[in-house]
Structure 1
Amino acid sequence: MKIYYSQSFLVKIKSLTNTEQKLIGDFVTSLQKNGFTGLPGRNKASTGVSKNHANRIKLIQFAIANCLYHYHIGYKSYDTSKKFGDWTSEYVVHYTNKDNDSIKLVAYGAHPPFKLPKNADLV
């Protein structure tokens, strides 16, 4: 799998701690070697917007149109109460997945609250 990076993600990663950079690096290395197989964290489409969100439909449409997903990276730590592969963490990496051969990392941040990347983050 090929990994690409948005311009804003490249700027963001420079401001992260060494631990965060290593976790993202481990994620990238795993993807390059094994694709999405064997990842410890939850990995899912970013269409699960709260039913109570005022702009729910608009956000879901944005996520679908831009093929947005997010992966729980394990920072500051994983909640391991669920099975391996479904572990969650406070911080996630957002990415676009438009085909099976490549992804683009576009944003990184804490949730809740869950925030989708902005249009500018996708470039």
Structure 2
Amino acid sequence: MGIKVLFGTKISAELQYLPEKDLVKILQFKQHVEIYGLENLAGRNKSSDDVPTNDPYWAEKVAKAQKYSLWHYHIGIPEYDTSQGFGNYTSEYILHYVKGENFIQIVDFTSHPPFKLPSESYLQN
């Protein structure tokens, strides 16, 4: 079942500066989620509070991820590493999103590693 997909104000303004091939992948993700929900995605999709315990900012990252219900999805940019199998593909770039009830709001797009959560300015609307 589909889920409504929204974009945060700051990332909405930045999408125009992305290469077309990257924007296409983001819009394909949006379309997939609107039709099928978060099931059967090619890339790894996980809660952003699943931070390695050896991360020096572990407590801060976990608290922020839980406060904002942050998740992230490996979007396949520039391409997927498929060695872990479908549904667990990884990529250099990830989409950060807020997961709500029957909606997600895409708020940021960053490289990974290192794993960084969106700044407060990306989480405000």
| TM-score, with length taken from structure 1 | 0.94
Pairing 1:13–2:53 present: no
Q: Which runs of 5+ in 2 are unaligned?
A: none
Tell me the amino acid that sits aligned with residue 88 of structure 1.
T
Give CA deviations for 1:73-103 in whole Å, capped at 9, x if unaligned: 001110111121110000000000021x100
| TM-score, with length taken from structure 2 | 0.93
Secondary structure in 2 matching 1:97: strand
Indicate the percent of aligned positions where both proteins have the same amino acid.
Answer: 34
How far off its partner does 1:13 sit? 1.1
Q: Distance in 2 between matches of 1:113 and 1:46?
A: 13
Tell me the amino acid that sits aligned with residue 9 of structure 2.
Q
The alignment covers a number of residue pairs equal to 122
How far off its partner does 1:49 sit? 2.2
Tell me the amino acid that sits aligned with residue 52 of structure 1.
N
Q: Map 1:17-28 to 2 at 5 A.
A: 17-28=19-30
Pairing 1:94–2:96 present: yes
- Structure 1 runs of 4+ aligned residues shifted over 3 Å read none
How far off its partner does 1:119 sit? 1.4
Pairing 1:112–2:108 present: no
Tell me the amino acid that sits aligned with residue 27 of structure 2.
G
Tell me the amino acid that sits aligned with residue 68 of structure 2.
N
Q: Map 1:1-123 to 2 at 5 A.
A: 1-99=3-101, 101-123=102-124
How far off its partner does 1:15 sit? 1.2
Secondary structure in 2 matching 1:31: helix
Tell me the amino acid that sits aligned with residue 122 of structure 2.
D
Tell me the amino acid that sits aligned with residue 119 of structure 1.
E
Tell me the amino acid that sits aligned with residue 25 of structure 1.
L
